[in-house]
């Protein structure tokens, strides 16, 4: 990431490395260990780490067979967190995810049987195959990290994070996610096909494997205890100059009046851009924000939060193209 011209922040490099010690260790360890399982997909790996560091949820979009599920499973092992997977189907009910109250055998008492949502990392595979009623069951979990059942509020683990996948080309038997739920995802990560060299590496790794599975063969080494919490604290402490608050607000508010957009970004989106930009600065080994960090955050944070007008879609516009135009139209702060 390069800094914007004429935006200079004087900072001692040694002070940067000292203030981001845990984050730097986490990033280096994650890239090394996940690289033993995932071929390529460097930006995707960076984005899923950013989601956890910002304690937000992520939507992974891509065609089947490009390691979306494998990335999340490997991440759970790397971070030493609990992991549960839900396969979305049209007949999936809210109780299948949240849990239900059952009668104890040989007793007249009822007990709550926790569902898979009571975990650290929850992978919801093909989330757009769930009916709207079941999709809505995740709203409270994602926003408040709690489940209300039979009038009782039950807290979810502090690291609770939803990673959901969806196939962009499959429309049969799917239910589009409502805007309220899309807005609760911190990031929408697009997972592309690997390059030819990366795909060849995939073949070689699987051929050399034991047959137990690539993830089992890799024996990923988890990060030290306490490192993730320390890294999250460092990311939250990254300094933001007042001009950059204005820049973030200008970008988000500009989407609400953009001529090709039917729906602009919400105030929650502005908060998300700020948080992700802080994490982007940490990945660039800086404890302060520059405009390029904000630009790095705009597309993954906003692409699922804006809605194009039908005529704009007919003209060939998509969310990323519109956001690029918005960024080009908003003046960059200079000091």
pLDDT at 17: 55
Q: Chain-wide mean pLDDT for the chain?
A: 88
Distance CA 94, CA 130 (A): 10
pLDDT at 84: 93
Which one is predicted more confidently, 57 or 216? 57
pLDDT tens across 199-225, in order? 998 888 888 876 667 777 778 889 999
pLDDT tens across 168-210, in order? 776 666 888 888 889 999 999 999 998 999 899 888 888 887 6
Distance CA 189, CA 329 (A): 24
Is the pLDDT confidence value at 334 over 90? no
Alpha helices in 151-194 (DSSP H): 179-182
Mean pLDDT on 137-155: 89
Mean pLDDT on 134-148: 90
* Nearest of 284, 287, 285 to residue 295 by alpha carbon: 284
Q: 108 near 95, Cβ under 8 Å?
A: no
User: How far is the CA of 9 from the CAs of 4, 268, 280, 334, in angstroms?
Assistant: 11, 28, 16, 11
What's the full length of the chain, in residues?
A: 335
pLDDT at 10: 44
Q: Which residues contact 140 (CB under 8 A, 6 or more apart)?
A: 146, 147, 148
Q: 188 near 299, Cβ under 8 Å?
A: no
Distance CA 228, CA 18 (A): 16
Q: 276 near 300, Cβ under 8 Å?
A: yes
Helix H or strand E encompassing 15: helix 13-19
Q: Which CATH superfamily is domain 1-24+225-335 in?
A: Magnesium chelatase subunit I, C-Terminal domain (1.10.8.80)
Confidence of residue 96 (pLDDT cuts 50, 70, 90): very high
pLDDT tens across 219-249, in order? 888 999 999 999 999 999 999 999 999 999 9
Phi-psi region of 294 (alpha: psi -120 to 50; beta: other; left: phi over 0): alpha
Distance CA 98, CA 163 (A): 16
Distance CA 176, CA 130 (A): 9
Question: What's the alpha-carbon Rg for the chain, to the nearest Å?
Answer: 21
Distance CA 26, CA 230 (A): 10
HSE (side-chain half, CA atoms, 13 Å) at 67: 24
Is the pLDDT confidence value at 15 over 60? no
* Nearest of 63, 183, 207 to residue 126 by alpha carbon: 63
Q: 251 near 269, Cβ under 8 Å?
A: no
* Nearest of 126, 93, 53, 105 to residue 272 by alpha carbon: 53
């Amino acid at each position: 990431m390069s800094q914007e011209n004429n935006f200079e922040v004087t900072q001692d490099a040694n002070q940067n490395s000292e203030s981001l010690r845990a984050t730097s260790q986490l990033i280096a360890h994650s890239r090394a260990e996940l690289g033993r399982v995932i071929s390529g997909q460097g930006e995707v790996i960076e984005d899923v780490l950013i989601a956890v560091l910002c304690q937000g949820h992520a939507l992974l979009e891509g065609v089947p067979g490009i390691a979306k599920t494998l990335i999340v499973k490997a991440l759970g092992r790397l971070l030493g967190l609990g992991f549960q997977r839900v396969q979305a189907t049209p007949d999936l009910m809210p109780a299948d995810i949240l849990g239900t109250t059952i009668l104890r055998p040989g007793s007249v008492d009822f007990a709550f049987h926790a569902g898979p949502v009571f975990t650290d990392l929850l992978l919801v595979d093909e989330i757009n195959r769930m009916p709207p009623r079941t999709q809505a069951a995740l709203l409270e979990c994602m926003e408040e990290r709690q489940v209300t059942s039979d009038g009782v509020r039950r807290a979810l683990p502090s690291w609770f994070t939803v990673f959901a996948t969806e196939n962009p080309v499959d429309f049969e038997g799917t239910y589009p996610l409502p805007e309220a739920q899309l807005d609760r995802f911190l990031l929408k990560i697009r997972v592309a096909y690997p390059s030819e060299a990366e795909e060849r590496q995939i073949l070689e790794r699987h051929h050399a494997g034991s047959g137990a599975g690539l993830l089992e063969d890799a024996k990923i080494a988890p990060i030290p205890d306490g490192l993730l919490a320390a890294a999250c604290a460092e990311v939250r402490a990254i300094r933001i100059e007042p001009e950059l608050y204005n820049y973030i607000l200008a970008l988000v508010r500009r989407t609400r009046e953009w001529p090709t957009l039917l729906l602009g970004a919400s105030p929650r989106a502005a908060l998300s851009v700020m948080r992700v930009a802080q994490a982007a600065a940490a990945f660039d080994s800086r404890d302060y924000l520059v405009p390029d960090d904000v630009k790095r955050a705009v597309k993954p944070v906003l692409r699922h939060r804006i809605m194009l007008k039908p005529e704009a879609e007919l003209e060939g516009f998509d969310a990323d193209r519109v956001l690029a135009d918005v960024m080009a139209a908003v003046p960059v702060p200079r000091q």
